[in-house]
Chain A
Amino acid sequence: MMNKPVNCNVAVIGAGMAGMAAAIFAANRGLSVVCVGKASEISFSSGCLDLFSRIPGSDMPAFDNPFEGIAALTKLQPDHPYAKVGREDIVQGFEEFTGFMNTSGIQYHCTPETNQKIITPAGTLKSTWCVPSAMYAGTRALAEKKKILIVDIRGLKGFGARQMAQSLKKHHPCMGSVTVEFPGRETAGDLMCERLTWDLETPDILSRFIGVLRPHTAGYDTVGLPAILGIYRFEELKNKIEKALGKTVFEIPTLAPSVTGMRTKEAFLGQLPASKVRHYPVMVKDITHGEAGFSFEVSEGIAVREVRAENLILATGRFMGRGLGVNASGNIREMLFDLPVTQPRDRREWFRRDFFNPKGHGVNRSGLETDECFRPLGRGGKVFHPKLYAAGSILAHQDWKREKSGSGISIASAYRAVDHLA
């Protein structure tokens, strides 16, 4: 069954950080937008927005000021996606993106010239640029050397309060830890963050949880909890706990699928109808293109609808997002248009022997070549299609995981692309 075709100015393929940003930017400019993708990868995110911290493999230490870092980076690596955007693009892109999320209830704290630190469940300090308000009290408590109590919950795996307190001792000596039982889950062996998050929406369980925390918080200023304080009403829940305990409270992101990531996804999806963005949570396998633009099919239940778009933004990500894959001869390929992919000569050069080699793995820098406004190049080095753009981690010459630049590259490239096509 075919539904009536839908026409739009821009189709965004992919609903990760780059796809979300591109859809928001295009909608804000009054363009009609179709966004396609499952937004499943975003559930793996910590909820923070990274901009830039480190040049992998260089002797330079991590940068406190991300813009100084980017300046040093683009001098050394003129092919890097950041070399195609100016500081203004980045700042305006972030402002627009965080502004949008703000209307959906997620607020970020950002100091323009400095990276901030959050506590990770591994007991490391992570540098990031924008910290969601649910985590921000932790960032401040670290900076102000406050007495922090980290709480974990028996049965909740991979989140060890004692591990964090012990590992961070050398940076932050005034940190304690405690393990508590989650009310109503005392007999369970395995607990999942999402389950506990729903539990806390119940007022009775919330007050019992506060009761469980209370005896341990004496002598501390700030309490760090695993990120389980609700998907939608987290500010409200946090305030209730803070008031009841008389302490500031912050969240620490957990391993995937994380509530902080889900929150980002829900905030984005929740705001789409108001922005008149049509979202299809499906995967697109085939896209045809011609002079008039692009066309592909999406399923709507048992029916199928054709989408016709003037412009298309490829924000399909890397291997997890299926933007990139491997063909029969073992080469990395782009999955939708078979665009040429810059990559190491062969599989032997994909990876380094030490997983943690600070230089990063060869395969990480593979991806699409583009012109100055992020239009992918076809074979022969010419722009593949005048109205096709690429944004985010699919771009070549970056290593977002080592640079701590994932959100920044996504937002900046999406901003630049939309700015050009609008």
Chain B
Amino acid sequence: METEVLIIGGGTTGTGIARDLTLRGISCILIDQKDINAGASGANHGLLHSGARYIFKDGEAAVECHRENLLLKRLAPHCIEDTGGLFVAVDQDDDDYIAQFPKLCVKYGLPCKEISVDAARQKEPCLAENLKAAFEVADAVVDPFMLSLDNAAHAQSKGAAILRNMKLTGFEMRNGKIHTAQVENRRTGEKLTIKAQEFVNASGAWADNVAAMAGASIPMSYSKGSLLVTQSRINQAVINRLRPASDADILVPGGTVSIIGTTSVEIDSLDDIRPTVEEVDAIIKEGAQMVPKLATTRYIRAYAGVRPLVRTAGGDGRSISRNYTLKTHTEDGIDNLVTITGGKLTTFRLMAEKASDIVARRLKNTNPCLTETETLPPSTKGEWTEPGKSPRVWMANPERRDTLICECEMVSEYMVDEIVNDLKAEGTIPTLEEVGRRSRIGKGPCQGTFCSFRLAAYLYRKGELADSQGMGQVREFVNERWKGFMPLVRDKELMRVELQESFLCALFGMEEDDE
């Protein structure tokens, strides 16, 4: 295969770059070792920062967030729920810190309005009784899956190719340049060589691994952050704790749930990223100081992502800048590689613009960046990830005699058909994992106990699965959900696990070797 630009990494930044480049008329291929947003882009709060979170430590990041926040609300409104946000402090929080907050907001031009404690609790009855300060800011909620899938879809409509399950295995170097990239399909084992003029490393936490294949290195540290999803929505606006960054400071509502997090745990390896019992306990304990209900509510899932932080000086995960890193590698003797990593979901567009600027300049393309002015067209790619959409569509179309596969989130055969057709049109094999990521299957309270099997049975019926493939995929699907449920099992959850094990092990014997 040949293209002008090969983008490695299908997170928000990578898909943002694919869109940016194609809008400038540059052809590109995007590869991801797994799937769109399989890394940190899919494992965060889904918070569109107002910038206020960063005013104490990183004024520049705060200003960037503020600007991008306004832009995205205008250009990609379908991906955003404009909830507004609150910064609140409770009794034990530092008064000086609180007093600084509105002043710094003014300094960096961020809208911020102090409201009375009573008004705050009226707005968000879940807030602690010992609240002592509250400020309104312009936070919002963004669906990162829809955002990336729509960026990818727009790029595809302009000619870009998006290749999933494609793992980079090496580069062929010639005269200080990357000549080709070798990739391998994780599912089929098929090997491909992709020739390009420019290469973009947008692989997030894997940036150093990719750079190393070209003989360069990026000093990185990995900070794991875990988050918990509540069973029902607790708050209407984003709620931030007004104190120096610590565990469980942000409660973000989204659709029918709320998400509380995060932790910051320095890790050495990117293998097997998962939330732990200790993190879950810490998040609940800390979060309950701000929203007491978090101590008693039920949770349906925990998940963890890795913040890719580029080491500039010493410091722990939270003190290293959240701002992005853009590196050209000319000093490493490589003329056609750009690495863009770090940063935030909120500033993904800006990061994509900066990386694309370098690539375009090198390709002598003088067309301007259009993502700052052109609306992101909604696509159908992410439509079934939207909470509440599946039940609406299902109820509105009784004539389809449409069978529900996932009863918790009401995802039906019709919706699975749509996703399967879409995946196949893109050349992706529709596995349980892929269909799961593009829908809400498995994301409700049963966490895959019933729906994993129903989905497998349906894919068999449609001829999408054959032989004994289904069993492996169900195992993989259930284990992925288990990863996020295991640390949450405290009391009532034990019943669900027992039920699940009764089916999967006592009845089906899925823990036994297949032979």
Contact check, B511 vs A122: say whether CB atoms are below 8 A apart: no
Stretch at the interface among A101-109, A162-170, A204-212: A162-170
For window 13-57 of A, CB contacts with B under 8 Å fall at 44, 46, 50, 54
For window 430-476 of B, CB contacts with A under 8 Å fall at 450, 453-454, 456-458, 460-461, 463, 465-468, 470-471, 474-475
Contact check, A348 vs B457: say whether CB atoms are below 8 A apart: no
Contact check, B274 vs A353: say whether CB atoms are below 8 A apart: yes
With an 8 A cutoff between CB atoms, is A155 at the interface? yes
Among A152, A188, A255, point to the contact of B450 (Cβ < 8 A): A255
| A126-B490 in contact given A166-B470, A348-B277 (Cβ < 8 Å) | no
Among B463, B498, B503, B512, point to the contact of A318 (Cβ < 8 A): B498
Shortest CB-to-CB span from B325 to chain A, Å, is 32
Contact check, B498 vs A160: say whether CB atoms are below 8 A apart: no
Contact check, A401 vs B453: say whether CB atoms are below 8 A apart: no
Contact check, B450 vs A158: say whether CB atoms are below 8 A apart: yes
Contact check, B501 vs A122: say whether CB atoms are below 8 A apart: no
For window 289-339 of A, CB contacts with B under 8 Å fall at 318-320, 324-326, 330
Contact check, B401 vs A187: say whether CB atoms are below 8 A apart: yes
> Which residue of chain B is the closest to A354 with respect to CB atoms?
B479
Interface positions of B (Cβ within 8 A of A)? 272, 274, 276-278, 398, 400-405, 412, 450, 453-454, 456-458, 460-461, 463, 465-468, 470-471, 474-475, 478-479, 482-483, 486, 489-491, 494-495, 497-499, 501-512
Shortest CB-to-CB span from B214 to chain A, Å, is 34
Contact check, A356 vs B456: say whether CB atoms are below 8 A apart: no
With an 8 A cutoff between CB atoms, is A198 at the interface? no
Among A125, A163, A318, point to the contact of B460 (Cβ < 8 A): A163
Contact check, B457 vs A163: say whether CB atoms are below 8 A apart: yes
With an 8 A cutoff between CB atoms, is A282 at the interface? no
Contact check, B465 vs A347: say whether CB atoms are below 8 A apart: no
Report A-chain residues with C-beta under 8 Å of the C-beta of B450.
157-158, 255
Interface positions of A (Cβ within 8 A of B)? 44, 46, 50, 54, 62, 120-127, 152, 154-155, 157-163, 166-167, 169-170, 179, 186-191, 253, 255-256, 318-320, 324-326, 330, 347-348, 350-351, 353-358, 360-361, 363-364, 400-402, 404, 406
Contact check, A358 vs B466: say whether CB atoms are below 8 A apart: no
> Which residue of chain B is the closest to A364 with respect to CB atoms?
B501
| A351-B489 in contact given A167-B468, A187-B401 (Cβ < 8 Å) | yes
Leading 4 A-B pairs by shortest Cβ distance: A160-B457, A163-B460, A401-B506, A319-B494
Contact check, B456 vs A124: say whether CB atoms are below 8 A apart: no
Residue among B398, B489, B503, B506 with most chain A CB within 10 A: B506
Among A169, A353, A364, point to the contact of B486 (Cβ < 8 A): A353
Contact check, B466 vs A166: say whether CB atoms are below 8 A apart: yes
Contact check, B471 vs A167: say whether CB atoms are below 8 A apart: yes
Residue among A154, A170, A320, A355 with most chain B CB within 10 A: A355
> Which residue of chain B is the closest to A168 with respect to CB atoms?
B468
In the complex, 22 of the A-B residue pairs with CB atoms within 8 angstroms, ordered by the A residue number, are A121-B453, A121-B457, A122-B474, A122-B508, A122-B510, A157-B403, A163-B461, A163-B465, A166-B466, A189-B401, A189-B404, A191-B403, A255-B453, A319-B495, A325-B491, A348-B277, A351-B486, A353-B274, A353-B486, A401-B505, A404-B509, A406-B506
Contact check, B405 vs A402: say whether CB atoms are below 8 A apart: no
Residue among B461, B475, B511 with most chain A CB within 10 A: B511
> Which residue of chain A is the closest to B448 with respect to CB atoms?
A355
Contact check, A401 vs B502: say whether CB atoms are below 8 A apart: yes
Contact check, B460 vs A256: say whether CB atoms are below 8 A apart: no
Shortest CB-to-CB span from B278 to chain A, Å, is 8
Report A-chain residues with C-beta under 8 Å of the C-beta of B510.
122, 124, 356
Shortest CB-to-CB span from A334 to chain B, Å, is 14
